[in-house]
Amino acid sequence: MYITDIDTKMKFLHGFSNKSRVLILESIKEEEKTVSQIIDELGISQSSISQHLACLRGCGLIVGRQEGKYMYYRVRNKLVRDLLTNFDTVLEDIHENVHGCQNHIDEKEADHVG
């Protein structure tokens, strides 16, 4: 089996390391959408969405097609779609064991522990 080098892998995985990006991926997982639709749906600023879309393109996770003045984005292919589904499958199984990575636990959350 061909093993892609770790740096390429990290660039790819970077796509999943931010909440806005993951929400975008989920939003366009099953159907392509215009940038405006994504903005409206997620309530994230135009600039931020645009930057994240550029990022996701660079990660190889999504593709865009222009139609007039609209830009339609969708998840690249079935493999990526299946990977997104796989996240949910694993999470369903292990979610009770997910407590967050040390440095991430901020006041808000620390409060309602116990």
Is 114 a residue that touches a copy of itself (CB under 8 A)?
no
99 binds a copy of itself (CB under 8 A): yes
Determine if 36 is a binding residue for DNA (CB under 7 A): yes
Footprint (CB under 7 A) of DNA, residues 81-100: none
Contacts of 61 (CB under 8 A, 6+ apart): 12, 15, 25, 75, 76, 80
The answer to whether 103 contacts a copy of itself (rule: CB under 8 A) is yes
* Closest to DNA by CB, 70 or 87: 70
End-to-end CA distance of the chain: 47
Position 63 contacts DNA (CB under 7 A): no
Q: Are 41 and 31 in contact (CB under 8 A)?
A: no
Residues in contact with 75: Cβ distance below 8 Å, sequence separation at least 6, in sequence order: 25, 28, 29, 61, 62, 81, 84
Binding site for DNA (CB under 7 A): 14, 17-21, 34-36, 39, 44-48, 50-55, 64, 66, 68-71, 101, 103-104, 106
